Chain A
């Protein structure tokens, strides 16, 4: 296990390095002069040059990459060109709503998808299972922003249960303002988790060691909890890591729909203003979360299933 842990951590570091390089290249890939695009046509040429120097863009590319890397490692994200403050301050002020929204959405997707997935597998072939499958297919086809608008109309405007825009800090405020957006981004992911868990649970329930466990006189609850679920969860964990990526993407849209001042709406603003350093910082943050989610998923799987550790040791 230690050997595996070490190798997986190394892989995570390599992924982070790759991420930083890709994010660095965002600026290089901008067609034309990025500084000119950021500042607009009316700014005098001397000022463009000053900003170019401040961003280090007059250096050779490899030097730029090295500077960028060392800055990132020391936690320095740089200055925003158009918001007039350091990117750290900017990102920190927008972090809370997005972090809560993603966590909330993830909890909803995992809890509801998990419970319904196990239920559908245990009741496989019944009307309940069939209904859930139809529902899952329908949910998958519904875009999050549309679900968000419908939820806002029904629960926010018609019934007045939740506010339909803005964000209030703190747990209670976050619960009030983020419930509808979290449901909107989680609904299709509930379907993803449900389907994955249902199919792996069904496969596990058909296996001989489950029959052998029943033959030993174990109660059905013990068979499900101690033998089936534990083994069926492994493939679902990888999917949950992918789900985290989708959640992050989903927040960009849904924060706009519900006017939540989070990182998603900051990203949209930064893109509109062509503030590339801010875009880079957010991309870096999102990519890091996805890489860490993948790392956690792999380590969890290895902890739960000795065959995973073994396959990697031999492979």
Chain B
């Protein structure tokens, strides 16, 4: 697999399998041989409905799988080093200075009993060898970068005194404390109202433009992905089912699941009375364990007997555009 490692890629995940169980040997797989890569300074969207394995993939990159979660095989190469082979202390150093993460729920991802300043200074000093005073100055300038008004006063506040959008800006400021080269944002705007959502997304894009940070942006909303990303990987049932440059995939989707996902994106125009957003029919994800073939078959309008034998390898559609469905293009 290493013959595909290109040096303009910052992160390259190959054949990653993740499962849950008491021991790795008894684990039942949830993510099945996932491969994706993120170029330097690029934004990759990971999109798919809830339960498809997006968060697990992010946590595997952070080496933060929950109890019982195991990486069963594969490699995660970051800047030439395999994250999965790092020692415990290497992982701590990697997390503190080379990668940052923002979570879905800004209301629960800051410690409720400690002031914003204390949490920021702790993160800054853990990553960079700074005095308390320098760390505090840096905290103020980080809050200015994420456009929080009155940063010095914010440092003395507790999380519950800030709005959701403000808290997510604080999370972003903490994540960017050491200028990491990769930022993972797992549904960073799902818990926010639409106006705030747009502001946070705008901020993410500026972080990339100014710092050249690569971003892995997770969402279940193809509209967000289409607006924000350079590349996209569509995930379903623990597989990448389609991937490519975002305008290519958005305008010419090949996989039936991608098509259904794009059709369910709400348009900005005011919907007519009686309009119902199309939803994807059939049983939702996670109701049955994966056996073989195409996981989308129970819900796919194009499903046919051969779909049970589909190998789920990504087949080229156009330059850099791939799809796992051999039948969807017809």
Contacts and interface: CB of A to CB of B under 8 A. Distances in A.
Given A125-B67, A215-B62, A215-B64, A307 B113 contact: yes
Given A215-B64, A230-B113, A305-B112, A208 B171 contact: no
Contacts of A310: 160
B144 interface: no
A49 interface: no
B101 A212 contact: yes
Nearest to B127: A217
B105 interface: yes
A209 B96 contact: no
10 contacts: A209-B108, A209-B110, A211-B64, A211-B103, A212-B110, A216-B96, A217-B97, A218-B92, A226-B122, A304-B113
Contacts of A215: 62, 64, 95, 100-101
Interface in B100-124: 100-101, 103, 105, 108-114, 122-123
Q: Which of B92, B93, B110, B113 has the most CB of A within 10 A?
A: B113
A274 B123 CA distance: 65
Contacts of A231: 111-113
A213 interface: yes
A208 B96 contact: no
Nearest to A308: B113
Interface of A: 125, 207-209, 211-219, 222, 226-227, 230-231, 234, 304-307, 310
A311 to B, nearest CB: 10
A213 B95 CA distance: 10
A259 to B, nearest CB: 46
Nearest to B96: A217
Interface string B32-53: 0000000000000000000000
B126 interface: yes
B94 interface: yes
Contacts of B108: 207-209
B94 A214 contact: no
B64 A217 contact: no
Given A125-B67, A209-B111, A306-B160, A217 B94 contact: yes
A207 B105 CA distance: 11
Task: Tell me if A's interface is mostly helix, strand, loop or mixed.
Answer: helix
A277 B240 CA distance: 81
Interface of B: 62, 64, 67, 91-97, 100-101, 103, 105, 108-114, 122-123, 126-127, 158, 160, 171, 174
A130 to B, nearest CB: 14
Contacts of A222: 126
B323 to A, nearest CB: 33
B97 A212 contact: no
A204 B326 CA distance: 47
Q: Which of A125, A213, A217, A230 has the most CB of B within 10 A?
A: A217
A222 B111 CA distance: 13
| Most B-side CB within 10 Å, residue of A214, A222, A230, A305 | A214
Top 6 closest A-B pairs, CB basis? Answer: A217-B96, A217-B95, A208-B108, A215-B101, A306-B158, A212-B109
Contacts of A217: 91-97, 126-127
B126 A216 contact: yes
A305 B160 CA distance: 11
Contacts of A227: 111, 114
A310 B96 CA distance: 32
B111 A213 contact: yes
B96 A214 contact: no
B92 A212 contact: no
A201 B174 CA distance: 25
Given A208-B103, A212-B103, 6 more contacts: A209-B109, A215-B62, A216-B95, A217-B126, A222-B126, A304-B113
Nearest to A216: B123
Nearest to A234: B113
B95 A214 contact: yes
A208 B66 CA distance: 11
Contacts of B174: 216
A218 B95 CA distance: 8
A214 B112 contact: no
Nearest to B105: A208
B114 to A, nearest CB: 8
A207 B66 CA distance: 12
Contacts of B96: 216-218
A226 B123 CA distance: 12
Nearest to A217: B96
Contacts of A306: 112-113, 158, 160
A217 B111 CA distance: 15
A226 B125 CA distance: 14
Given A208-B103, A231-B112, A306-B113, A218 B160 contact: no
Contact of A307 (B62, B95, B127, B160): B160
A202 to B, nearest CB: 11
Most B Cβ at <10 Å: residue of A212, A215, A231, A306: A215
A120 to B, nearest CB: 15
A216 B124 CA distance: 9
Nearest to A304: B113
B18 to A, nearest CB: 16
Contacts of B103: 208, 211-212
Most buried by A among B91, B109, B110, B111: B111
A78 to B, nearest CB: 47
A227 B95 CA distance: 17
A217 to B, nearest CB: 3
B318 to A, nearest CB: 36
A234 to B, nearest CB: 8
A209 B112 contact: yes
B240 to A, nearest CB: 23
A227 B171 CA distance: 16
